[in-house]
Amino acid sequence: MLTELQHSKLTHYFNVLDFDKSQTLEKNDFISIGQNLSTLWGFKVGSPEYQASIQRCTQIWKDFHQFIGKGDSEHATLEEWLQFADQHIVNGAEDLYERHIHQVAVEIIDLFDTNGDGYLSLNEYLDLFMAYRIEIKHSTRAFNQMDKNKDDLISRDELLEAIREFFRSDSEDAAGNWLFGFWENARWV
């Protein structure tokens, strides 16, 4: 069973992905994120870069949709997401959990590591906040919390640790709680 803290974080994550605020996750939410990224990076509509951005975000939807086992359904509700997250991510088998954690890390690095060095700089992390329309005023502090070795970069290992903390930790002090910005009842360490 999800704790209150986990429920709050996972609801926040759902709301971040629910781009049109329809209370369901659907393909268009992910396409909208791709459009936001394209605008952020100055890709012209119809350009190869624009199409690649939309295609990457569409693939993320397909992977997410398949991962939560929605079959032919074209959307996922908050309740379905929370039930799935409880049974398969937070309290589920370790192999499925690790597969999801690694998939989220790969998606974040692939989308936002614009210079291809394998790390997220603060500017690249800010792009994540802007693309997902997360309140940006908390981004620097969140970045600093996750940058454990204080080298001004988030490594793949630091990102994986943050993602693990975000999905499974029940500690209010876990730095990974801030991966996707500020959420209700959150507090800073």
Cα–Cα distance for residue pair 49/47, rounded to 1 Å: 5
Domains located in the chain, CATH noted:
4-169 (1.10.238.10)
53 burial (CB, 10 Å; 0-12 / 13-18 / 19+) is buried
Percentage of the chain beyond pLDDT 70 is 94
pLDDT at 189: 41
At residue 186, does pLDDT exceed 60? no
Q: Are 118 and 156 in contact (CB under 8 A)?
A: yes
pLDDT tens readout for residues 132-146:
899 898 899 999 999
Q: Are 131 and 72 in contact (CB under 8 A)?
A: no
**For the whole model, what pTM was predicted?**
0.86
Percentage of the chain beyond pLDDT 90 is 59
Among 72, 64, 119, which Cα is nearest to 89's?
64
pLDDT band at 70 (very low <50, low <70, confident <90, very high): low
